[in-house]
Amino acid sequence: MNIIVGQSGGPSVAINATLAGIAIGGIKNPKIDKVYGMLHGIDGILNENLVLLNSYVDRFEVMARTPSMALGSCRIKLPPVEQKEIYEKIYAILKKYDIGAIYYIGGNDSMDTVDKLSKYFKLHDIPIQVVGVPKTIDNDLMGSDHTPGYGSAAKYLCNTMEEIICDSCIYPTPNIVVVEIMGRNSGWLTLAAGMPRFRGKIMPQIVILPEQPFYEKEFLEKCRELLVRDRTVVVVCSEGIKDEDGEYAGMSTKSGAVDIFGHAYLSGVGKYLEGLIKKEIGCKVRSIELNVVQRCSAHLASACDLREAAEIGMEAVRASMAEGLTGVMFGFERVSDQPYEMKIIYHSVGESANYEKKVPEEWFNTDDVTVQKEIRDYITPLIAGDVSVRRKPDGSPDYEILYRDFYPNTEA
Amino acid sequence: MNIIVGQSGGPSVAINATLAGIAIGGIKNPKIDKVYGMLHGIDGILNENLVLLNSYVDRFEVMARTPSMALGSCRIKLPPVEQKEIYEKIYAILKKYDIGAIYYIGGNDSMDTVDKLSKYFKLHDIPIQVVGVPKTIDNDLMGSDHTPGYGSAAKYLCNTMEEIICDSCIYPTPNIVVVEIMGRNSGWLTLAAGMPRFRGKIMPQIVILPEQPFYEKEFLEKCRELLVRDRTVVVVCSEGIKDEDGEYAGMSTKSGAVDIFGHAYLSGVGKYLEGLIKKEIGCKVRSIELNVVQRCSAHLASACDLREAAEIGMEAVRASMAEGLTGVMFGFERVSDQPYEMKIIYHSVGESANYEKKVPEEWFNTDDVTVQKEIRDYITPLIAGDVSVRRKPDGSPDYEILYRDFYPNTEA
């Protein structure tokens, strides 16, 4: 029997470690002959665009520390299982390659693919196992204490915020710095950006989660008070904060504003808060959008994150082969914070697909010291440990993008 | 005799290493009793806001690896030396503290301060030496092969670009990523962001310097060609690129566009290029503004940069005391690329003040392999070597902001 593995959704620093874990788990497993990789997720099956990972074992170590996705990604949502055509096509190709199990690494949408494929195969008595392995920097997957990829993004954010805070306080004039953080519907990454504060520092003074409605007036009042008290005010806010009407803050639908090309003006929330502060307070203000750098900074990867990402991949292969699992997603259950102990678990993927795990309501009041301690205790072990970046003789990071072998022009 | 040191202009990762170098050089020098620091540059003298650095020696080692400016900064331009009032005030305070020499760390504007103060003191036979020590991530100071701060920012940029390139290639659809880099009038940092290319990779394919006029049509043509050839196109551009009329690209003065608050729409150049590509090509496009993170990422500091930054500070004190120098700026002269060898020099500060060193015309054609080699040879030694970040028990970086002692609310 052969198995196949794919990556899907947005990239992270840890998803290649999971890929390496699955591939190594597969290669070592006596039940398994070959481990295939699909290029660009489920697209790779549909286009028969497969690679034999057994040939790349000597490159796994570097690949596991390379950001982004070594097999490429896709954003495809499968139709309902009643629309047989696409499923039949997938099955025909899997059969051709004697595939007995699919491992799909991804977030909510990818778990939907796992759910549908496994349902289709069960419905038609096809003996192909389908197993989901989690990945998302957003940490918003149900059924897991946290997700591989979150720890490294969280570590990047709390380090970078320390540095931005140093950078923000140098002038004697009152000023506000707004930092926009990824996470459209959940504030896990924004909490990580607030870590300097949760470790007992003054800054960032304001943490804005997308789970709560954003009130302009309240925000401006808080800014004015803090400017007097601290002179420099640092704000971290989720890209997805919404106003009282549930509309994303910073959207132009109400204002009718247009950019220089005449398009509707869709600023990020950082730029929106910058404009708001400029207009209403008039002090010096700067906004920073950390953008994709927060999901690809492998040089600041968390050792805990990469280790767990590889382990969950290996365990997913071991357990699914031993127990014949299908339609499940693997995840973590936290046994204890101190010492940090984690258990790998699995459950029905239907419990995760298409749901989002939000920051719990008890954590909304980030001014409360008990809340601060709980957040700190939750995040601290996940960002622990440095990973050394292997460098080439010229000093550049030695990253391993497997697909450069298949698409010669993506990287030289 | 006592001396005083100040920091001015924008922050960098290396300016505290220079501060430490000057302070240690002063403390060890038998001619010098006390080393004072001015808080917020020249403002610190005017407000008699001084600190005795001799008391902080045990914190210099960590301070030298801390981003931003340990003494705070200012942006003050002194009036012509004929307007005596402010100069008399400065002199009175310096006299009170028995100051025999001023060391001022900064860029072009700060060297103007050094120039004027030294001229005023000479004119009035006041025996106070005034010495400039360079600092700027922009690398645009005349009279120095490069400036402390540039190497670390350059290292951050070429590392981060490697990671952004990994992140950009994962989808099977054609896409363009535009990364906006600091440097309004000179393209030194943009060249550093292009380093993956100058090391022989395909990406970034397009490098846009501010020294050359930007032509929309030519740019779009190149993008279209590269999309076909490489599928993913990565562009690095200076924040200060100008169109054919010498107007900053992305300004709204022509278009009359406004933001959601009714302000003139002043997008960064990244957003402008994103909008241009969206309108004219219509492919997937993302723009990234690296913002202050490129000047404060101490965790990616260049060991060469921090070492040189400290050395130039120490040498400035030693040489100026030994030779009675005033009105000079210290700098580097490159003796050789391989092995890398640098000599510390000085010359009249008037040669640096208010001038900007641009990228030479011979380097504009970044498609030429000889040019690529020259750029690589210039930058490679400056970004060499890692600096370990000292961490607190909770894993957070141990940064030392000296002024937290004086402004209790700037950092807890």
Are B202 and A409 a contacting pair at CB < 8 A?
Answer: yes
CA distance A387 to B289: 26
Q: pLDDT-based confidence at B370, cuts 50/70/90?
A: very high
pLDDT at A236: 98
Tell me how close the Cα of B123 comes to any Cα of chain A, in angstroms. 31
Q: pLDDT-based confidence at A412, cuts 50/70/90?
A: very low
Q: What percent of chain B has pLDDT over 90?
A: 79
Touching check for B412 and chain A: CB below 8 Å? Answer: yes
For chain A, how many residues are written? 412
Q: What is the DSSP letter of B258?
A: B
pLDDT at B352: 78
> For residue A200, which residues of chain B lie inside 8 Å, CB to CB?
412
Q: What average pLDDT does the structure give for chain B?
A: 92
B300 closest CA partner among B121, B117, B154: B154
Give the model confidence (pLDDT) of A160-213 as tens digits: 999 999 999 888 899 999 999 999 899 999 999 999 999 988 899 999 999 999
Q: What percent of chain B has pLDDT over 70?
A: 93
- Looking at chain A, which residue has its C-alpha nearest residue B256? A260
Give the model confidence (pLDDT) of A334-374 as tens digits: 999 989 999 999 999 988 777 899 999 999 999 999 999 99
Do B331 and B346 contact (CB within 8 A), yes or no?
yes
Helix (H, G, I), strand (E, B) or coil at A100: strand
pLDDT at B254 over 70: no
Catalytically annotated residue among B109, B112, B138, B140 = B138
pLDDT at A94 over 90: yes
E runs forming strands in A17-98: 35-38, 50-52
pLDDT at A407 over 60: no
CA distance B116 to B111: 9
The lowest-confidence range among A12-26, B73-87, B258-272, B289-303 is B258-272
B207 beta partners: B236
CA distance A198 to A365: 12
Whether A138 sits among the annotated catalytic residues: the reply is yes
Q: pLDDT-based confidence at B295, cuts 50/70/90?
A: very high
Indicate the burial class of B54 (C-beta count within 10 angstroms; 0-12, 13-18, 19 or more): middle
Are B258 and A263 a contacting pair at CB < 8 A?
Answer: no
Are B170 and A296 a contacting pair at CB < 8 A?
Answer: no
pLDDT at A87: 98
pLDDT at A73 over 70: yes
Are A40 and B171 a contacting pair at CB < 8 A?
Answer: yes
Helix (H, G, I), strand (E, B) or coil at B361: helix
Q: In the numeric block, which tokens belong to residue A121?
A: 């195969």
CB atoms closer than 10 angstroms to residue A32: 18
pLDDT at B400 over 80: no
pLDDT at A408: 45
Touching check for B2 and chain A: CB below 8 Å? Answer: no
Tell me how close the Cα of A123 comes to any Cα of chain B, in angstroms. 31
Q: What average pLDDT does the structure give for chain A?
A: 92
Tell me how close the Cα of B319 comes to any Cα of chain A, in angstroms. 29
Its ipTM equals 0.95
Helix axes A150-168, A303-323, angle to 10 degrees: 170
Please count the CA atoms within 13 angstroms of the CA of B258 that sit on its side-chain side: 7
Across residues B171-178, what is the average pLDDT?
A: 93
pLDDT at A24 over 90: yes
Across residues B25-34, what is the average pLDDT?
A: 98
> For residue B305, which residues of chain A lie inside 8 Å, CB to CB?
none
A386 beta partners: A302
Helix then strand then coil, % of chain B, to nearest 5: 40, 20, 40
E runs forming strands in B142-278: 175-181, 206-208, 232-238
| Strands A50-52 and A99-106, sheet pairing | unpaired
Q: pLDDT-based confidence at A252, cuts 50/70/90?
A: low
pLDDT at A255 over 80: no
Q: pLDDT-based confidence at A251, cuts 50/70/90?
A: low
Touching check for B291 and chain A: CB below 8 Å? Answer: yes
Q: How far is CA B98 from CA A99, A307, B91, B222, in A?
A: 83, 59, 10, 62
Question: Which residues 65-94 of A have a C-beta within 8 angstroms of B?
Answer: 66-69, 72-75
pLDDT at B293 over 90: yes
Give the model confidence (pLDDT) of A317-333 as tens digits: 999 999 999 999 999 99
CB atoms closer than 10 angstroms to residue A2: 17
B131 closest CA partner among B109, B151, B110: B110
A296 closest CA partner among B290, B208, B284: B290
